[in-house]
Amino acid sequence: MYKARNILLVVLTMGAILMLSLIVGASFLQMRDYEKSYSYNEMLASIERIRAAIDSFFVSKVAVLKFISFNGGGADLLQKLTAMSSDIVGVGAVSESGAVNYELLYGSSAAISVDSEWLKKTNAHGYYVSDVFTLSSGIRVFLIGVKGTDFLVLKAKSLDEIIINDKYNVSIVNADFKVQAPSYAYEDNEVKRSLEHLPSVFPTSTVINVTGALHGYVRVDGSEWIINIIPKKGVHSISFVESTFFKIIVVASAMVLLTIGLIVWGFVINLREADKKTQEAVKKLLPFSRLSIIGRLANNIMNELNNPLEIINQKAGLINDMLMLPAADINKDKVVFLTQGILDNIKRGRTIIHRFLKFADTNTETIEFLAVDSVLKDVLVFFKDELAFRNIRVIRKFSTDVPTVNTNRCKVQQVFLNVINGAIKFLGKDGTMILYIHSVKGGVIMIEVICETTMDKKVRDASHYFDQQDEKEDDFDFYASQWIVKSIGVTMDYKLHDNNKAVFCVTIPVSTEEDNTYVKD
Amino acid sequence: MSKIKVLIIDDENDFASTFSERLLMRGYLSCAVNCAEKAFKTVKENAPDVVILDLKMPSMDGIEMLKVLKKMDPSIEVIVLTGHGLSKGKDEAIKHGAFDYLLKPADIDDIIERIERANKKRMLEQQYLASKRV
C-alpha cells in the first residue's frame, strides 16, 4: 500500500515537473518572440529616424562630408552625427580606393580590423564592403553590399575564402530582417549558398543579429556612407534572453524539486510513523484476534466437552445406582461396560482439551513442516457441531500430492479458522461447503472453500470481510487475518458467483520465511 | 399414581441411553431417541409428560424441535439440557415454551427435581382445563 503511494508521489512529482517545464518552455518561446519583435521594431524605428536625419544632413552637407571622410575625418563626422541623434554610435566609410574609415563612440575600434587587401578584392568583384568585424574566435565577419544593394553577412578567415570558395558560410539578411542559415549565430552548417545565387531582396536599411548582438545599418542613397547603429541602451539580445530564461528554468525547477522533495520527505516520514503505529496496533490486535476466535470457539468446545462429561456423569451415576442394589442383583458385566464407556469418554474429552490447548497456546509458535490437509481437518473439528447444527454439508476434496509446508502452524490454523468461520457466516443455514486442497504451479498450495446454497436462497455477500476499510466488529477476524497472512506469505481472496456461490481462496507458499515485522506475540 | 413418561432427545446415544436407564431405575417411564424423526414418531404414538431436549443436534435445531413439539401437544413440558451456555439460547428456549434450561453436565437429582416440577405444573394445568370444561 505504501509502495503504491510512493509510486504515486513520484508520478505526481514527475508530472508536476513536466507541467512546469511545458509552462516555462511555452513562456520562454512566447517571450522570445515578443523580445525579438520588440527589439527589431525598436531598432528599425531608430534607424528610420536616423536615416531621415542623415538624409537631411547629406542633402545640405554632402560635399563637406565627403571631404571629411576622405581626409580621415570620421571622428568629426561621427561627432556631428551624434549631435543630431544620440542613437548613432559609429560611422563607417569606404572610399573608392577601398580605404575604410570607421569610428565608434565607445572606442572599441580595436575589435574592428581593416584589411585593405580584401577591400580591393571585393571592389574588384563588384561588391560593396560596408563593415568587417573580427570575432573573439578570430574569425571575421564581413558585411558586404552585393552589387550596391543587398547585404550579406559573411564569415571567413580571409576574403579569399569568401570570393574563391563558394561553399563558405554565408548568411543573407532577408526581407524579414532575419539572418538566414547558415550563420555563425545559429550554428547551422547544412545549407551552403553560392554568392552567384544570392537574392536581391535587401532593403537599404536593416537590423541584423551578429554574434548575438543587434546592429542596425543604413545605406545612404547616392553615397558610400553606411551608418552603423548600435543602440546605446543596449538591446536585450536573444542569447541574453535565452540564458536568463535558462537560468530561471534551472532555478525554478530546482525550487520546485526542492519543494516537492520536502513534501515527499514529509509524506515519507508520516507514512513511516503511520506504518510504525499500524505495526504496533497490529501487534496488539493479533493476540486479541486470537482471543476472539478462542472465545467464539469456546462455546462450541464447551458443548463438545460437556457431552463426554455428561456421559461420564451419567455412566458413573448408573454404576453408583447399581452398586446401591443388593449384591446379587449387580450385573458385573454391565459395570465393566459402563466403566469402559467412562474411560472412552475421558479419552474423548482429553483429545478435545489437547486440541484446544494446542490452538490456544500462544507461546508455542514455531516454524515447522505442516500437512495442510491435517491442519484443515483439525480446524474443522472445532466447527463440527456448528456445521451439523446449521445443516451445512462438508465435502472434502483433498489432493494426495500436496507437499508439506514449512510455516507457522498457529497462524495457518488461525487463518483457516477465520475462513471457515467466514464461510459459515456466509452460508447461514442449509448449504454445502466444498473444501479443495491442491498444488499449483510455482510452489504454492491452494485451499479453496466453495460455499453453495440452494438456488432459491440469496446468500450474504462477504466481500466486506476482505475490505480493510470496513472494520466492523463482525469482521474483526478477517481484518486481523489480513495481517496474519501477510506475515507468513499467505494470500486470501474471495469471490461471489451468482448470489448463491462464494469461493474463499487461500494460497500458501510451500516454503515461507516468516516476516515478524507485523506479527509478534 | 401413574408413572411419569419422560422422552430424552439427544444425538449423544451414550448419554441418552444411560440417562434413560437411570430414570427407569428411579421409577420413570423413560425412552431415548437420537433424532427428530424418531422423536416426533414417539410423541405421536405415546405422548410423553416431559421431554428432555438437547439444543444442538444435526438435522434439526433444538429450538425448532421445541416449537414443533409444543405445536403437536401443548401440554408436553420440555426441559432443555444442553452443553451450550449462551444466555441467548436459554432466553429463546424459555420464550418458546421450555419449562427450564439446564447445562450439561447436570446432576440427576436436579434433573429429576425439574421433571417432577414440570409434571406437577402439567397436571395442574390439565386439572384447570378440565374444571373449566365442567
What is the SS3 string spanning A191-253?
A: CCCCHHHCCCCCCCEEEEEECCEEEEEEECCCCCEEEEECCCCCCCCHHHHHHHHHHHHHHHH
Neighbour tally for B95: CB within 10 Å:
10
Grid cell for residue A260: 516537492
Using one digit for the tens of pLDDT, what is the confidence trace for A254-303? Answer: 888 888 888 888 888 888 888 788 777 766 666 666 666 666 667 667 77
CB contact under 8 A, A318 and B14: no
Using one digit for the tens of pLDDT, what is the confidence trace for A33-45? Answer: 766 666 666 666 7
- Which residues 78-97 in chain B show a CB within 8 A of chain A? 82-86
Mean pLDDT of chain A: 64
Alpha-carbon torsion angle A17, A19, A20, A26, nearest 10? 140
- Res. A216: pLDDT tops 80: no
- Res. B43: pLDDT tops 80: yes
Grid cell for residue A124: 574588384
pLDDT at B99: 94
Closest CA to A419 of A503, A332, A351: A503
**Ranges of each domain in chain A:** 2-244, 363-521
CA angle A85, A87, A93 (to 5 degrees): 85
pLDDT at A3: 62
Grid cell for residue A340: 469402559
Least CB–CB distance from A299: residue in B58, B84, B107? B84
Of B88 and A348, the structure prediction assigns the larger pLDDT to A348
If you search the block for the grid coordinates 401437544, which residue do you land on?
B73
CB contact under 8 A, A318 and B59: no
Of the ranges A51-60, A238-247, A501-510, B84-93, which one carries the lowest mean pLDDT score?
Answer: A51-60
Least CB–CB distance from B15: residue in A302, A303, A307? A307
pLDDT at B22: 93
Q: List Cα–Cα distances, A22 to A29, A140, A253, B99, in angstroms.
A: 11, 38, 11, 84
CB contact under 8 A, A317 and B108: yes
Parallel, antiparallel or unpaired: strands A405-408 and A100-104: unpaired
Closest CA to A217 of A124, A121, A316, A150: A150
Closest CA to A459 of A414, A425, A493, A507: A425
Closest CA to A210 of A85, A43, A26: A43
CB < 8 Å & 24+ apart, contacts of A98-106: A98/A122, A98/A123, A98/A129, A100/A129, A100/A132, A101/A69, A101/A72, A101/A73, A101/A74, A102/A74, A102/A131, A102/A228, A103/A74, A103/A75, A103/A77, A103/A78, A104/A78, A105/A78
Closest CA to B97 of B130, B56, B50: B50
Judged by a CB distance cut-off of 8 A, whether residue B59 touches chain A is yes
Of all residues in chain A, the one with the smallest CA distance to B57 is A389
Which amino acid is residue A136, in one-letter code? S
How distant is the Cα of A478 from the closest Cα of chain B, in angstroms? 24
| Band of pLDDT at residue A478, cut at 50, 70 and 90 | low
How distant is the Cα of A433 from the closest Cα of chain B, in angstroms? 16
Averaged pLDDT for residues B47-67: 86
Q: List Cα–Cα distances, B42 to A165, A299, B39, B45, in angstroms.
A: 127, 31, 5, 5
Mean pLDDT of chain B: 89
Residues in chain B with CB shorter than 8 Å from the CB of A330 are none
Rounded to the nearest angstrom, the gap between the alpha carbon of residue A499 and the centroid of all alpha carbons in its chain is: 41
Is the separation of the CB atoms in A507 and A475 below 8 Å?
no
Grid cell for residue B51: 421431554
CB contact under 8 A, B85 and A299: yes
Helix (H) or strand (E) run with residue A262 in it: helix A238-323
- Res. A5: pLDDT tops 70: no
pLDDT at A59: 53
Q: Which of B6, B8, B14 to mutate to test the interface with A (most CBs of A within 10 A)?
A: B14
Of A513 and B95, the structure prediction assigns the larger pLDDT to B95
- Res. A407: pLDDT tops 50: yes
DSSP summary character for residue A178:
-
Of A478 and A121, the structure prediction assigns the larger pLDDT to A478
Parallel, antiparallel or unpaired: strands A367-370 and A100-104: unpaired
Residues in chain A with CB shorter than 8 Å from the CB of B19 are 314
What is the Cα gyration radius of chain A? 49
Fold of B5-133: Rossmann fold (3.40.50)
CB contact under 8 A, A389 and B56: yes
pLDDT at B24: 93
| Band of pLDDT at residue A368, cut at 50, 70 and 90 | confident
Q: List Cα–Cα distances, B102 to A314, A396, B106, in angstroms.
A: 15, 36, 7
- Res. A518: pLDDT tops 60: no
Q: Which of A306, A320, A339 to mutate to test the interface with B (most CBs of B within 10 A)?
A: A306
Of all residues in chain A, the one with the smallest CA distance to B60 is A389
Rounded to the nearest angstrom, the gap between the alpha carbon of residue A519 and the centroid of all alpha carbons in its chain is: 33
Residues in chain B with CB shorter than 8 Å from the CB of A310 are 12, 15, 83, 104-106
Using one digit for the tens of pLDDT, what is the confidence trace for B71-93? Answer: 999 999 999 988 776 667 788 88
- Res. A383: pLDDT tops 50: yes
Which amino acid is residue B76, in one-letter code? I
CB contact under 8 A, A318 and B86: no
A interface toward B at CB cutoff 8 Å?
A: 299, 302-307, 309-315, 317-318, 321, 338, 341, 345, 385, 388-389, 391
- Res. A512: pLDDT tops 80: no
Is the separation of the CB atoms in A475 and A492 below 8 Å?
no
Which string of DSSP letters, residue by residue, matches A344-382? HHHHHHHHHHHHHHHHH-TT---EEEE-HHHHHHHHHHH
Beta bridge partners of A502: A451, A496
pLDDT at B114: 94
- Res. A85: pLDDT tops 80: no
Q: How many residues in chain B?
A: 134
pLDDT at B100: 93
How distant is the Cα of A429 from the closest Cα of chain B, in angstroms? 10
| Band of pLDDT at residue A361, cut at 50, 70 and 90 | low
Closest CA to A229 of A403, A86, A66, A132: A86
How distant is the Cα of A307 from the closest Cα of chain B, in angstroms? 7
Averaged pLDDT for residues A42-55: 64
Highest mean pLDDT among A423-427, A470-474, A515-519, B106-110: B106-110
Least CB–CB distance from A307: residue in B12, B22, B106? B12
- Res. B128: pLDDT tops 80: yes
Residues in chain B with CB shorter than 8 Å from the CB of A304 are 83
CB contact under 8 A, A338 and B86: no
Using one digit for the tens of pLDDT, what is the confidence trace for A58-82? Answer: 554 444 445 444 454 555 656 666 6
d(CA A288, CA A295): 10
d(CA A504, CA A45): 83
Helix (H) or strand (E) run with residue A405 in it: strand A405-408
Grid cell for residue B102: 439446564
pLDDT at A268: 83
| Band of pLDDT at residue A355, cut at 50, 70 and 90 | confident
CB contact under 8 A, B104 and A341: no
Least CB–CB distance from B105: residue in A299, A310, A321? A310
Judged by a CB distance cut-off of 8 A, whether residue B18 touches chain A is yes
How distant is the Cα of B64 from the closest Cα of chain A, in angstroms? 11
Residues in chain B with CB shorter than 8 Å from the CB of A312 are 105
Is the separation of the CB atoms in A342 and A406 below 8 Å?
no
Q: List Cα–Cα distances, A455 to A225, A290, A452, A459, in angstroms.
A: 106, 35, 9, 10
Helix, strand, coil share of chain B (percent; to 5): 50, 20, 30
Domain A363-521 class? alpha beta
Closest CA to A449 of A396, A489, A490: A396
Residues in chain A with CB shorter than 8 Å from the CB of B107 are 313
| Band of pLDDT at residue A204, cut at 50, 70 and 90 | very low
Residues in chain B with CB shorter than 8 Å from the CB of A309 are 104-105
Cis peptide upstream of residue A287 (ω within 30 degrees of 0): no
pLDDT at A484: 63
If you search the block for the grid coordinates 536568463, which residue do you land on?
A244
Judged by a CB distance cut-off of 8 A, whether residue B15 touches chain A is yes
| Band of pLDDT at residue A426, cut at 50, 70 and 90 | confident
CB contact under 8 A, B12 and A303: no
CB contact under 8 A, B56 and A303: yes
- Res. A346: pLDDT tops 80: yes
